[in-house]
Amino acid sequence: MKIGFIGLGIMGKPMSKNLVKAGYDVVVFDFNESSIKELVDAGATAASNGAEVASQCEVVITMVPNSPHVRAAVFGENGIAQGAKEGTVLIDMSSIDPVESQKIGKELEPYGIDMLDAPVSGGEPKAIDGTLSVMVGGKKELFDKYYDMLMVMAGSVVYVGELGSGNVAKLANQMVVAINIAAVSEALTFAKKAGTDPELVYQAIRGGLAGSTVMDAKAPMMLEGNYKPGFRIELHIKDLTNALNAAHAVNSPVPLTAQMMEVMQFLKAEGHEKEDHDSIVRYYEKIAGTSIVKDK
């Protein structure tokens, strides 16, 4: 199977490398030439644009920032639709608005191109390890056909439903993650203000009902003052924007998600948008007038 991969950013680069390592014939394109070179050095083949990728491959994966970038990669000049043959499958692994996923899928039908939306969760570390969580929407037979290929990049690949459902699941994930990070931040800041070591509080509660994957991933980073991005605030803002738009479209109230958007907008205004989303703790530290970072 020859696989096209468009978008070699912080996530796409390690994901495509894992496909190459697994022995797949991978054709890549990105606007960043150094990223293309890195993949070619790893064993991939370079293409000059999306149309050239699609002309060579039965399946094309896109991993780009947001809905407009997917649309440009598919329908823009020298895009996938211009080079794809009838029967080509597009697997969009970007995190975008589910309504837009459905629109793009519908617009691809006259070209004879099928589409899955398959956004991922796990950030750069899990992209590197090949242990991402993938949430897939689209035709079940296509999911079954490409399941093994997707598992090369993932620890779990779950079918959610019709096209767009993958991104609904991803937005739900991002809502839970943002609110969970905020809850951890709020609790550890409270502990510090109450005169109790927040690290010891973390150790005390992590094994109980309050414990979570988010807590174990982010609390140590907060306590170290480590905001190196695995998933940037600005990207979480993008996801919450899509979540709010999608929720409003179906009349689903999301008050906690709306509150988290305002917290993240505060962080952006403070110049922290390039930091990891664990820097949500900075909001709580600012309003509480303290810091939970451990003394060196």
Cα separation, 271 vs 233, in Å, equals 10
Cα separation, 72 vs 80, in Å, equals 9
By DSSP bridging, strand 132-137 and strand 120-121 are antiparallel
The residue whose two tokens read 């293409």 is 47
Cβ distance 190 to 255 under 8 Å?
A: no
- DSSP structure class, residue 78: T
Give the closest residue to 264 by CA, choosing from 290, 284, 293, 292. 284
- 238 belongs to the catalytic site: no
Q: C-alpha 20: how far from its chain's center?
A: 21
Q: Of 13, 17, 126, 170, which one is the catalytic site residue?
A: 170
109: left (phi over 0), alpha (psi -120 to 50) or beta: alpha
Burial environment of residue 34 by CB neighbours within 10 A (0 to 12, 13 to 18, 19 or more): exposed
Query: Which long-range contacts (C-beta less than 8 Å, at least 24 apart) are formed by 17-23?
Result: 17/42, 18/130, 18/152, 18/153, 19/149, 19/152, 19/153, 20/44, 22/152
Instruction: Report, as residue numbers or ranges, the catalytic residues.
Output: 170
